[in-house]
Structure 1
């Protein structure tokens, strides 16, 4: 299942909260961060995000809301 398919499945379940427990990107790049952000921006669900060792040091992650 791709990340986009997982997000579509999450959206269909209408959860109270989505917990992302890190490593949502494997290789830190602006393109990868943009891909994830675009997929998550349409969710009508609060998101709790904890950075993993692959994405913890990427500047601006916390500023995206």
Structure 2
């Protein structure tokens, strides 16, 4: 199942678009009782995994 798709390899995703994408994906997963989000280490910096983790925390 695809939870979110947009753009191309050359597209730059803004903070706002990333947040909307994360929230949209989480809504499709449905309500959860317990969620464990483990923040990434520095090696994941360029993937913006830290930002995504923040948005997940904000959502729940």
Report TM bin, short chain.
Answer: 0.3 to 0.5
Instruction: Specify which structure has the bigger relative contact order, considering alpha-carbon pairs within 8 angstroms and separated by 6 or more residues.
Output: 1
TM-score (norm 1): 0.36
Task: State which structure, 1 or 2, has the greater radius of gyration over its C-alpha atoms.
Answer: 2
Greater share of residues in helix: 2
TM-score (norm 2): 0.37
Greater share of residues in strand: 1
